[in-house]
């Protein structure tokens, strides 16, 4: 029997995988969609199997999770087995600030919002530990410390000297900006590719289950390259490939449409924004697609870039 099932939405896939990795480092067994639901398996049956066979369920709480229609059945199974929380089968881990409604309010949460990695890791480990949360060291004494009699300094008094209070540094000099390092840029591009991959994989699975006329295929050819295809009434209608790299720089993400999928051509290139900030720029956006009008094509977050490429991918369906 598995120790933990990680329940999450694609928007929090990075958090879910980080939580799963930390738990396995601590010796727990984990089931998570990104690692354990392989191509060809039945998503619904795998989800039911994972929820039923896990001793406890970790909910990756965020605004997206609370709005997801697919997340409710995942945590409802654990809640139904332990409605009073005596066995702590349902463990909410809040990774982005949100206001849980209804039943969630009564369940004690693990909160990692605003913490650095070390503090977040400790909060997670302490939260899943079912033992008492007694600290390892004695808490600070809350009473008043003993007063030591003060003896006046026999030399000249400085009471009449006006103290000099230094101004804040930000009022003395212009705001200093630090440019992202090459390592920062590479991590941002890798995380952006993972966000795009997770959204395509989740959306393909969702539409194939919700629309009887649609079949889909998702192939992860390498860790930084995937292909997606959507069939309408059995006919291939939407084909796309997304991979890291391109003509201009390794720090980019290429998108190609149609069956010709060589490394020498693409329909869109997401490069790092020229403003120097860690954002994407859609190099080939010309205002031809409706999705280009939803966002600032010169300054895209990873989530916006993923949504933009998905809308381009499914655009052939608008004429059907």
Tokens of residue 120, six digits = 């977040």
What is each CA distance from 171 to 174, 175, 177, in whole angstroms? 8, 9, 15
Instruction: Tell whether pTM > 0.75.
Output: no
**CATH 3.40.50.10140 applies to domain 2-128:** yes
DSSP assigned state of 104: G
**What is the overall mean pLDDT for the chain?**
84
- Who wins on pLDDT, 8 or 276? 8
d(CA 313, CA 308): 9
Instruction: Decide the pairing of beta strands 235-244 and 252-257.
Output: antiparallel
d(CA 127, CA 194): 27
Sheet containing strand 30-32, strands side by side: 30-32, 2-7, 54-61, 90-94, 110-111
- Who wins on pLDDT, 44 or 199? 199
pLDDT at 159 over 70: no
pLDDT at 97 over 60: yes
Sequence spans of domains, the chain = 2-128, 182-319
d(CA 203, CA 197): 10
Confidence at 133, pLDDT banded by 50, 70, 90: low
> Looking at 160-164, 223-227, 308-312, which range is the least confident one?
160-164
Whether the CB-CB separation of 2 and 31 falls below 8 Å is answered with yes
Q: What is the pLDDT of residues 187-236, one digit of tens each?
A: 999 999 999 999 999 999 999 999 999 999 999 999 999 999 999 999 99
> Looking at 68-72, 75-79, 308-312, which range is the least confident one?
75-79
- Other CB atoms within 10 Å distance of the CB of residue 299: 15
């Amino acid at each position: 029997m598995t120790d933990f099932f990680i329940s999450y939405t694609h928007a929090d896939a990075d958090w879910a995988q980080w939580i799963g990795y930390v738990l396995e480092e601590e010796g727990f067994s984990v089931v998570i969609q990104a690692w354990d639901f392989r191509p060809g398996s039945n998503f619904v049956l795998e989800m039911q199997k994972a929820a039923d066979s896990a001793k406890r369920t970790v909910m990756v709480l965020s605004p997206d999770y609370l709005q997801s229609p697919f997340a409710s059945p995942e945590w409802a199974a654990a809640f139904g087995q332990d409605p009073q929380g005596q066995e702590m089968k349902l463990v909410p881990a809040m990774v982005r600030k949100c206001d849980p409604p209804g039943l969630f309010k009564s369940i004690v949460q693990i909160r990692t919002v605003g913490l650095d990695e070390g503090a977040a890791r400790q909060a997670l480990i302490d939260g899943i530990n079912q033992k008492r949360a007694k600290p390892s060291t004695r808490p600070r004494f809350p009473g008043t410390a003993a007063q030591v009699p003060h003896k006046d300094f026999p030399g000249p008094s400085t009471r009449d000297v006006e103290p000099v209070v230094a101004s804040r540094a930000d009022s003395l000099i212009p705001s200093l900006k630090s440019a992202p390092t090459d390592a920062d840029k590479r991590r941002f591009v890798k995380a952006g590719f993972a966000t795009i991959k997770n959204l395509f994989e989740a959306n393909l699975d969702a539409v194939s289950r919700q629309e009887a006329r649609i079949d889909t295929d998702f192939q992860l050819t390498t860790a930084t390259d995937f292909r997606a295809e959507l069939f309408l009434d059995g006919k291939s209608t939407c084909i796309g490939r997304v991979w890291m790299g391109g003509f201009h720089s390794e720090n980019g993400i290429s998108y190609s449409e149609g069956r010709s999928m060589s490394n020498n051509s693409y329909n869109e290139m997401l490069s790092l924004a020229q403003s120097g900030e860690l954002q994407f720029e859609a190099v080939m956006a010309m205002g031809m697609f409706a999705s280009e009008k939803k966002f600032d094509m010169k300054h895209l977050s990873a989530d916006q870039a993923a949504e933009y490429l998905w809308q381009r991918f499914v655009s052939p369906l608008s004429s059907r």
